[in-house]
Amino acid sequence: MPVPAEPTPTSSEALAAERIEALLGSKGLIGKIAPLSRSSAALYPVPEDLAALLGRNGIPKGWQLGFVGGGAWTTAMRLWASMLGNDGWLALVGVADLGLAALAEQGVRLDRVVVIEPPPGDLWLPVVDALVETFTVVAVGPARVSRAHARRLTSRCRDQGAVISHLAESGTLTWPEPLDCVFDCTSASWSGVDAGSGHLRGRKVEIAVRGRRQAPSRVLSSAGLAVATP
Amino acid sequence: MSEREPAALRTLVLHCPDWPLVSWGIPGDEPAAVLVANRVVATSAAARSEGVSVGQRRREAQGRCPDLALLDRDRGREVRFFEPIVAALEDLTPRVEVFEPGTLGFPTRGPARYFGGESALVGQVVEAARPVVPSRGRLQVAVADGGFATRLAAALLAVERPCLLAEGSTPAFLADQSVNVLGMPELSSVLERLGLRSLGQFAALDAGDVVGRFGREGAVAHRLARGFDDHPPDLRRPAPELTVEQVFEPPTNRLDVCAHAAWELAESLGSTLGAAGLACVRVGIEVESSDGHTAMRLWRHGGVLTPAVMAERARWQLEGWIRALPSNPAAIDPAAIDSALSPDDVHGLVRLRLIPDEVVPAVGRQLGLWGGRSERADEITRVVGRVQALLGSDSVTVPEWRGGRGPSEQLVLVPAAAVDLGVDRPATASEWVTEPWPGRLPNPSPARVYAEPATVDLLDAFDQSVSVSSRGEISDVPAIFVLDRGRRRRVLDWAGPWPAEERWWDPLHQRRRARIQVILDDQSAHLLVVEHGQWFLEATYD
């Protein structure tokens, strides 16, 4: 870019500068790129303790998340409740075991939840592909998807802003591509139960995060389950 | 709705009972049930006699009849095996309409005149259909006034031999039927509470009062009860330019591609009709294949065909064509057919058309004619519709509170096709259930609730099975937990039991169960339920 203190540039230099300005200046390409990249960097809010764990204030739109281990499903529900807020929509694909009462207790609005049976193999991708177009969070169980298809779905999510949450079935995730962020959970301790009396009230979960776009970090979260009982 | 309205059209209905089972090649004397989302939707005669009934959960049905064969619902298969019957009848009359796989009908006026009377026509139909009905299927044929009454007569009266209800005698047949046959459970339960148990009693009400009290659904039901069709017959043909079509370039026989195209066509047809103030009650689905053949089927539905319903019918029909049966009808043995199928054998489809064959003025707001509501809800509805077109409408559900003690009973999943996602749904708020449920588990609720609970051995420190007495007392402290005869795991702590006695007044359906919470040595917490001395892993506090 031209600096004013310099001698008057030759006409060809002026032309080049003009071109650069047109490309990179505020009215040029940069001006167009900036708002785009800002919007794609927009975040879905997360609970405070998880924000500290992640080192950012939310989950970026278009990310692929994984949830593994003891307490993973509750952790996923807590995260969704915060991400969905009042207007987000959640699709559950092939996760028939998910406890809907627990989902509601974690704060997810059940009138924004749609439950879909596990699609047969060749229809899994068309179904999830359709859902990411408009749902905020799409939760999926284990899927058999080729690497190329997985990559295509990842870029679809980046365009649309939907976040796919992969729930591990028996301790392992089957997604063929690295996920942006994986929550490795370990159930640490329970409270409320004592040799026949009381009932489960609260617990601590140790959560570690890792992933393609996530610096490893861990935390002992106590906000796992406690729900006020009348 | 004046009394001057002409009577419903004389109609012939051919009904193959228990079609979902017949399409799987199950003989009626074998106990079998077809399931959708773990609930029974169809049963064989043998299963019914053992107490298995539509609406039961898988476990309940298996409890009634331990050697029950369980099958998944496959609408494409049901259409596929029904196709030869539809094709055979199309040789008799061009206006055959499929109501659902296993049931078809057509107006008799033209063909009865041609074949020399209704009973001669019935003979022709039986003769044409008999050779192409799978050996395990049965044929029930009836002629009466109007589609609804004739379908009922075919199912109830034509079991032994074809049934011909004389012109004008249909209302008398209907009058004795229970209000449940309307297929509108909410309406019939209100009617029963009002003491109106038969269609005759309901039909005797004043039409104006019925509309005032029950709205549009009530008005339609009242028409049916009096022996009219759900819509006044209107023989005007819809304008041909309403037809929508999709050309496939290159030709395709991929079901997902066709189903997606069908969805887009149904959607655009729905919005065109909506803009014109019309709704479709019968749709023609037409395909043209790359070898120049065309095929067309008419589908009718017990009401207005919303875009989602049209797209679903198109998907079933396309599956029926794409995975076609061999042309030799003698080869139709459901057990042998699957291996013979090869989608590569058929020519690709080059064109798909949806023809709104019969339209009526749209009354009230139709589901699926989107507009005037939140844009987001419309987008969600559209995407949900596309998924329904791919998977079938039963496979997309939404949760509603029902109340109950166990975690699997508090909420139910209802088909998304039956609700409007764009409006407030009070049953999705937990306050919807206000009655207290004694024996209900305290919060928090488990994050994983197993549709198919696995068996568990729960033992005390001396390896004796732990049991719960009828007074709700536990026999000893649970110490060892064995899932599905697998690894022994230590029980660190436990709470309960919570006894749950259900339907104690009903000896056939009563259940006595009890639940406990356990924490195992890996700090996982679970909910166990015991019934008849057997423990099950019902849920996990994941």
pLDDT tens, residue by residue, B150-192 = 999 999 988 888 999 988 889 899 999 998 888 887 788 888 8
Residue A171 — very low, low, confident or very high, per pLDDT cuts 50/70/90? confident
Please tell me the least confidently modeled range out of B340-354, B387-401, B491-505.
B340-354
DSSP-based three-state secondary structure for A152: helix
Q: What residue in A sits closest to B256 (Cα-Cα)?
A: A123
In this structure, the strands spanning B480-483 and B349-361 are: unpaired
Q: What confidence tens digit (pLDDT) does each residue in B197-208 have?
A: 999 999 998 887
Q: Please give, rounded to a whole number of angstroms, the shortest distance from the CA of A8 to a CA of chain B.
A: 56
Residues of B in contact with A125 (CB under 8 A): none
Q: How many CB atoms lie within 10 A of CB B485?
A: 8
Q: Please give, rounded to a whole number of angstroms, the shortest distance from the CA of B252 to a CA of chain A.
A: 16
Residue B83 — very low, low, confident or very high, per pLDDT cuts 50/70/90? confident
Q: Quick check: A199 and B524 CB within 8 A?
A: no
What percentage of chain A exceeds 90 in pLDDT?
40
Q: What angle, 0 to 180 degrees and rounded to 10, lies between the N-to-C axes of helices B375-391 and B255-275?
A: 140
Supply the pLDDT for residue B482: 93
Q: Please give, rounded to a whole number of angstroms, the shortest distance from the CA of B332 to a CA of chain A.
A: 26
Q: Find the mean pLDDT for residues B50-78.
A: 86
The answer, yes or no, to whether residue A131 has pLDDT greater than 80, is: yes
Q: What confidence tens digit (pLDDT) does each residue in A16-36 have?
A: 656 655 555 444 444 444 444
Rounded to whole angstroms, how far apart are CA atoms B267 and B454? 43
Name the residue among B37, B390, B399 with its Cβ closest to that of A113.
B399
Q: What confidence tens digit (pLDDT) does each residue in B489-530 have?
A: 999 999 988 888 766 666 666 678 889 999 999 889 999 999
Q: Please give, rounded to a whole number of angstroms, the shortest distance from the CA of A145 to a CA of chain B.
A: 16
Rounded to whole angstroms, how far apart are CA atoms B474 and B477? 8
Q: Find the mean pLDDT for residues B22-36.
A: 86
Supply the pLDDT for residue B335: 42
The answer, yes or no, to whether residue A100 has pLDDT greater than 90, is: yes
Residue A165 — very low, low, confident or very high, per pLDDT cuts 50/70/90? very high
> Where is mean pLDDT largest: A47-56, A135-144, B61-70, B505-514?
A135-144
DSSP structural state of residue A117: P
The answer, yes or no, to whether residue A53 has pLDDT greater than 70, is: yes
> Where is mean pLDDT largest: A51-55, A220-224, B438-442?
A51-55
pTM: 0.60
> Where is mean pLDDT largest: A14-18, A59-63, B252-256, B369-373?
A59-63
Q: Quick check: A196 and B542 CB within 8 A?
A: no
Q: Find the mean pLDDT for residues B70-94.
A: 87
What's phi and psi for A9, nearest 5 deg? -75, 155
The whole-chain average pLDDT of chain A stands at: 81
Q: Please give, rounded to a whole number of angstroms, the shortest distance from the CA of B121 to a CA of chain A.
A: 43
Q: What residue in B sits closest to A203 (Cα-Cα)?
A: B523
The answer, yes or no, to whether residue B315 has pLDDT greater than 90, is: no
Residues of A in contact with B407 (CB under 8 A): 99, 101
Rounded to whole angstroms, how far apart are CA atoms B91 and B128? 9
Residue where the block lists tokens 């192409």: B132
Q: Please give, rounded to a whole number of angstroms, the shortest distance from the CA of A47 to a CA of chain B.
A: 18
Please tell me the least confidently modeled range out of A65-74, B327-336, B450-459.
B327-336
The whole-chain average pLDDT of chain B stands at: 82
Supply the pLDDT for residue A23: 52
Supply the pLDDT for residue A199: 87
Q: Quick check: B493 and A111 CB within 8 A?
A: no
Tell me the Cα Rg of chain A. Answer: 23
Residues of A in contact with B525 (CB under 8 A): 187, 190, 200, 203
Supply the pLDDT for residue B363: 59
Name the residue among A74, A87, A110 with its Cβ closest to that of B447.
A74
Rounded to whole angstroms, how far apart are CA atoms B467 and B458? 8
Residue type, B201: Q
Q: What confidence tens digit (pLDDT) does each residue in B219-244 have?
A: 888 888 988 877 665 555 667 778 99
Q: Find the mean pLDDT for residues B416-444.
A: 71
Supply the pLDDT for residue A99: 92
Q: Find the mean pLDDT for residues A114-126.
A: 89
* Three-state SS sequence of B119-174: HHHHHHHHHHHHHHCCCCCCCEEEEEECHHHHHHHHHHCCCCCCEECCCCCHHHHH
The answer, yes or no, to whether residue B124 has pLDDT greater than 70, is: yes
Residue A3 — very low, low, confident or very high, per pLDDT cuts 50/70/90? very low
The answer, yes or no, to whether residue B113 has pLDDT greater than 60, is: yes
Q: Quick check: B444 and A201 CB within 8 A?
A: yes
Rounded to whole angstroms, how far apart are CA atoms B389 and A213? 36
Supply the pLDDT for residue A28: 46
Q: Find the mean pLDDT for residues B289-315.
A: 83
Q: Find the mean pLDDT for residues B302-315.
A: 82
Q: Quick check: B399 and A110 CB within 8 A?
A: yes
Supply the pLDDT for residue B300: 85
Q: Find the mean pLDDT for residues A40-61.
A: 86
Determine the residue among A80, A105, A116 to mutate to test chain B binding: the one whose Cβ has the most chain B Cβ atoms within 10 Å.
A116
Alpha helices of chain A — where are they, by DSSP H? 11-24, 29-40, 48-54, 72-84, 100-105, 124-131, 147-160
Q: Quick check: B449 and A87 CB within 8 A?
A: no
DSSP-based three-state secondary structure for B511: strand
Please check whether residue A211 is in contact with residue B489, taking contact to mean a CB–CB distance below 8 angstroms: no
Q: Find the mean pLDDT for residues B123-135.
A: 88
Please tell me the least confidently modeled range out of B104-108, B116-120, B265-269, B429-433.
B429-433
Q: Quick check: B494 and A72 CB within 8 A?
A: no
What percentage of chain B exceeds 90 in pLDDT?
23
Supply the pLDDT for residue A14: 60
| A38, A59, A60, B143, B278 from A42: Cα distances, Å | 7, 8, 6, 64, 43
Q: Find the mean pLDDT for residues B278-285.
A: 86
Residue A4 — very low, low, confident or very high, per pLDDT cuts 50/70/90? very low
Supply the pLDDT for residue A229: 36
Q: Quick check: B379 and A134 CB within 8 A?
A: yes
Supply the pLDDT for residue B487: 86
**Starting from the edge strand earliest in sequence, which strands make up the sheet with B411-415, in order?**
A217-221, A197-210, A181-194, A64-69, A163-167, A137-140, A90-93, A113-116, B396-401, B411-415
Supply the pLDDT for residue A34: 41
Name the residue among B441, B448, B541 with its Cβ closest to that of A98.
B448
Q: What residue in B sits closest to A225 (Cα-Cα)?
A: B444
Please tell me the least confidently modeled range out of A170-174, B20-24, B360-364, B469-473.
B360-364
Residues of A in contact with B384 (CB under 8 A): 114
What is the separation of C-alpha A2 from the centre of its chain, rounded to a whole number of angstroms? 43
Name the residue among B421, B447, B493 with its Cβ closest to that of A195.
B493
Q: How many CB pairs under 8 A join A and B?
A: 163
Q: What angle, 0 to 180 degrees and rounded to 10, lies between the N-to-C axes of helices B118-129 and B75-90?
A: 130
Rounded to whole angstroms, how far apart are CA atoms B392 and B76? 10
Supply the pLDDT for residue B508: 62
Q: Quick check: B525 and A123 CB within 8 A?
A: no
What percentage of chain B exceeds 70 in pLDDT?
86
